[in-house]
Structure formats: structure tokens, C-alpha cells
Amino acid sequence: MKRKIAAIFAADIAGYSRLVAEDEEETLRRLASYRQVTDDFIARGGGRIFNTAGDAVLAEFPSAVEAVRCAIDIQESLRTRNMAYPPSRQMAFRIGITIGDVVERDGDLLGDGVNIAARLEGLAEVGGICISRAVHEQVANKLSVQFADIGAQEVKNIPTPVHAYMVAMRREDGTYTTPQVKKPAKSPGVAQPNWMWPVAVTVVGLAAIGVGGFLYLTKLETSATKVASPSSMASPAPSPSAIAAVPAPVPAAKAPERPLPQPPSPSVVASADKFAAASIPFISDKARASLATDYAPAADFKAFALNVGGFSAFVTAQPSEEAARSAAVEQCQKRAEAAQSPRKCELYAAGDAIVYAHGKPPLPPLPWVRRDPATEQPFVAKNVPLARDPAKARLEAVYAPARRNKALAIGPGGGVLFFPIALDTADEAVRRALESCGGIASVPCMVVAINDDFVVPIPTTLKVTGFFRATGSTMISADARDDVARRMSEAQSGWNAVAVGAAGRPGLALKAASEQAAINESLADCVKRDSNCQVIGIGPFSVGPN
């Protein structure tokens, strides 16, 4: 680990969950296109993306000036792209930037600087930029843009109010927007915000709460030493696993404004579900067995905590329920931190009542994997769909040489990867990969590799842009979508492909012998009933031109 000062850039898309719910295919396609724009501007400005999750982007810059200039370029470029869509379907980023002391670990950045940037992003307007006072001091006389001082802002999980500024964005006619002011934190003796605008700005609205913590970590989660005492028992450590978050999505959709995990408190409300070791997500089969034999029959006071990466701990024979809750989370967190797991532990059960706030992770329908020798290929990290270069490098370094049993799951846009390794069975690896990936992405993920083989057709001729779902594809005419979905689901071997023309009439290739054969057949079928045909889906993936 090493410390350094960096300008931290945090961005995500406003209303992303709604956009995905309304039209997943189109949203994921556009997100991939918009992410290409953002990534290009970040690279041009000398920035480095150190993490992504769904529609979120975290990047570092050596210069605050370059970070703000990059943010302005991104917002102006995407504003132009959004003009082609109705207001309800526009996809706009909010961006927050701060300067802070951060810890670099395995290429990722941790610390208050990252958290504050995420909170500033939550304060930003749709299509806007919010910066900290430290950034403003660096850029005020170096960039020909205007700023509005919105004063000290109270933001969640940051103990000290953050003094923030809005960046005025240029309109099409050359004038500048007037950001809506957030309510400043109350602080006796503090002067009223100083506005740097041609005209006064009217103060409106209530305090905006920062967006939920970015699932920005791309670290390995390895097993830790078991902790035990006569009055407390830590569950068996999970097998080594890895999580990588990448763009292109993406997406992958994230949970709407999901808050950062909080320590347990006596006010946590139990769900109607009762504790059942066999249904607990994320953890290994061995940990489930230990819970069934040691935790379930134990008398109160007891508690069990876990994190989405698979680390867990339970305690029994505690003096009170509050003590049990605290001890379980503390032991789980110690184990996670000892293994450098980036995920926070949360209380799952108090006594025999489940109190986990997030419910069961979203999973795809069964069967989770259909093995087909005709389409399986040896695992090659560079061919993992949707993954960007940093994630592919991690897969090459960690997943490829890892011993069995292992599995790799990806989110719809590639914004989340999760791969448990060195497990007892392949079925357990598949389950844990899907549960943890789904828990992070907040949408069902797909297993693309088991052990050393790809277990789904991996397109290489065209560029993968997301998961293909015929029933939700706006490119296919509405009256044909259900038929396309049915026919593809019935063709469970070989290569399948879908092409559509200008009128949305589909052409299908089913059970083809190769990717290229599927492409050729789908296009040939499409031109029989439509014109300007193009392939939009190969196997389980939506595709576009390279």
C-alpha cells in the first residue's frame, strides 16, 4: 500500500435504474457508447480509471485542472448526444471531483477522498459538476468557467461538512446555466455563500443526499484465519475469490441510490423469514454446514454477519442481543480486512430472525448453465466479453492459473465481475459467482466460464455490447419479439444469431456450426423479409460493429 494525493473524479448516470427498467437493451447499448466517450476524455486528460460498477466511474487525475476540464468536456459531449432522445430517455451523468489523500492498493484507490468525490457527485445536478473547495482553489483562475459557491454541505457518512461549488455548464446559445443551490450545513458564525455569478442565484430546495457508495472495488478476496473463543465462533473462511468491476456495460444496472452498509443497531427490523443455513447467499457450503450445526441450535444471544464477497462470522452465548450484533459484525469485518476484502460486513441474522436489509441477490432462472461441447472454448482472458483491459489483466493473472473449482460471472454490461476460485465443487463455484455478482450489480448475472472453459458462446467477430433479450429489444418489431425469444430458447445447442432490418423484421440462425456460419445464416434469413439487415445478437449477447 502507498499513499498519495490525487484528484478523484466520480460519475454516474442520473435515473439509471429507471432507464434500465423501461428498456434494458437500449439503455445498455447507449451506456456502452457513452462510456466510450467518457473513457476517451479521461485518457486524453491524463486520468486513470481505477474502478467502475454498473454506470459508475471512478478515476484519478494528477491535476485538478485536467479533472475539471475533462468533466466539462464529457458533459458537453453527452449533452449533444442526448439531443437525439426525448427528455424521458436522456442519459446524463452527474460528476463530483475532489482532491484528497488516498491509499493505493493493487491499483485501486481507497480513502476519504474517494468517498467525498462520490458524495459530491450526489450533490451535482443532472448533467452537472460539483467540486470541493480544494479543487476550486486549484482551478478558479486557470479555467474560463464560472462557479457557484454552495457552502458547506452535510453529506452522509462524512463527519465534517464538505464545502462545495457548482460548475456552470454552457448552453447551446453560449450562455451558462444557473445551478440550483443545495442547502448549506448550519454553522454559527459562517458567512453566507459567496456567489461568483453575473446575477444573483435564488436559494431553493432541501439538502440533497449523496448517492450510495460506489461498488468500486476490484480486489481479490482470499480466505482468512478462523477466529474462535469459548463464547464466540467465526464461520469457516470462504475460498479465495476475486471481484473485478469494469465498464462497457455495463451494464449493468446498479441498485437505486443504495446506501453504504451501516453497522447493526438494535433498531434493525427482522424480516418474516426465519434463519435457514441452506439458503444463506454468498458463503461457502462449508460455512453453511457450520451454521447448521453450530449456530442454528444455539440459544440466544447470538448473531451472524456476512459480506457480499463471502466472508462471514457468527457469535453465540453473548450477554445481550446488542452485544451479539456488534461482535458478529466486528469479527466478520476483521476477517475481511485481514484478507484485504473490500466489502463491508453487515448483520444477516439476530438470533433466528433474518435482519439483512438487501434481501436475496437477484439470480437468473434455472438452469444456470447449459454445457454444449459444440460452443465451448478454452478460457482466454482477453476474450471475456464486456471486460476492459484492467479486468482482463486481473483474470489473466488470477483466474486463469487458479486451481479448480472456479467460475466467472459477469453483469449485463460487464460493470461487475466475480470469480470464486479453489472451491470444493463446480456447482458451488457457479452458485457463489452468481450470488455475489448479482448482489453487487443488483441485477442477474451470467456465468460465462467454469474452470478452464467458456461455457457460453463467446462472439469474437462482432463487439459484445450487453446481454441479449429478444423480448426487450426495441430493434425487433414488437409482434416478432416473443417468437424470436421462444425459438432461441428452444435451440439449446450450437451457435444462434439474430439479425434485423430497417423495419425490424428478424432473421434467425439456429444451431449453426460456428459463429461466422450463424452470422451468415441470420443475415440471409433477414434479407428475405427486410432490408439493411445487421446482426444484433449472437448467443446470449447483444452485439454491434467492432
**pLDDT (tens place) for every residue of the chain, 546 residues total:** 678 899 999 999 988 888 888 888 788 888 888 888 888 889 888 899 988 877 889 999 999 999 999 999 898 888 878 877 788 888 899 999 999 888 888 778 888 889 999 999 989 998 999 999 999 988 888 887 888 888 888 888 788 888 999 998 765 444 455 555 555 444 444 344 444 434 333 333 433 333 333 333 333 333 333 333 333 344 344 444 433 333 333 333 333 333 333 333 333 444 557 899 999 999 999 999 999 999 999 998 999 999 999 999 999 999 999 999 999 999 999 998 888 887 889 999 999 999 998 888 999 999 999 999 999 999 999 999 988 888 898 899 999 999 999 999 998 866 688 999 999 999 999 999 999 998 888 888 999 999 999 999 999 999 898 899 898 888 899 899 999 999 999 988 999 999 999 999 999 999 999 999 999 999 999 999 999 999 999 999 999 887
Whether 260 and 300 map to the same domain: the answer is: yes
**What are the residues whose beta carbons fall under 8 Å from the beta carbon of 126, sequence distance 6 or more?**
14, 15, 92, 94
Assess if residue 210 is contained within a domain: no
Count up the domains in the chain and report the number. 3
Interatomic CA distance for residues 211 and 357, integer angstroms: 17
Whether 385 and 526 map to the same domain: the answer is: no
Assess if residue 524 is contained within a domain: yes
Coil, strand, or helix at residue 388? Answer: coil
Assess if residue 212 is contained within a domain: no
DSSP secondary structure letter of residue 84: T
Last residue of a domain, one of 425, 456, 487: 456
Whether 475 and 533 map to the same domain: the answer is: yes
Assess if residue 201 is contained within a domain: no
Whether 229 and 187 map to the same domain: the answer is: no
Q: How far is CA 485 from CA 27, 190, 476, 508, 539, in A?
A: 19, 62, 11, 11, 12
Q: How far is CA 172 from CA 61, 399, 471, in A?
A: 28, 48, 38
Interatomic CA distance for residues 400 and 395, integer angstroms: 6
Whether 251 and 380 map to the same domain: the answer is: yes
Whether 164 and 270 map to the same domain: the answer is: no
- Dig out the grid coordinates for 439 from the structure: 448482489
**What are the residues whose beta carbons fall under 8 Å from the beta carbon of 86, sequence distance 6 or more?**
none
Whether 160 and 242 map to the same domain: the answer is: no
Pair 224, 339: CB distance under 8 Å: yes
Interatomic CA distance for residues 150 and 184, integer angstroms: 6
- Surface-to-core class of residue 84, CB atoms within 10 Å of its CB (0-12 exposed, 13-18 middle, 19+ buried): exposed
Assess if residue 144 is contained within a domain: yes
Whether 296 and 364 map to the same domain: the answer is: yes
Interatomic CA distance for residues 109 and 362, integer angstroms: 28
Last residue of a domain, one of 456, 476, 508: 456
Whether 392 and 504 map to the same domain: the answer is: no
Interatomic CA distance for residues 420 and 434, integer angstroms: 10
Whether 169 and 227 map to the same domain: the answer is: no
Whether 437 and 489 map to the same domain: the answer is: no
Coil, strand, or helix at residue 345? Answer: coil
Segments forming the whole domain that contains residue 478: 463-544
Assess if residue 32 is contained within a domain: yes
**Chain-centroid distance, C-alpha 137:** 32
The CATH number for 120's domain is 3.30.70.1230
Whether 386 and 531 map to the same domain: the answer is: no
- Dig out the grid coordinates for 289 from the structure: 454446514
Assess if residue 205 is contained within a domain: no
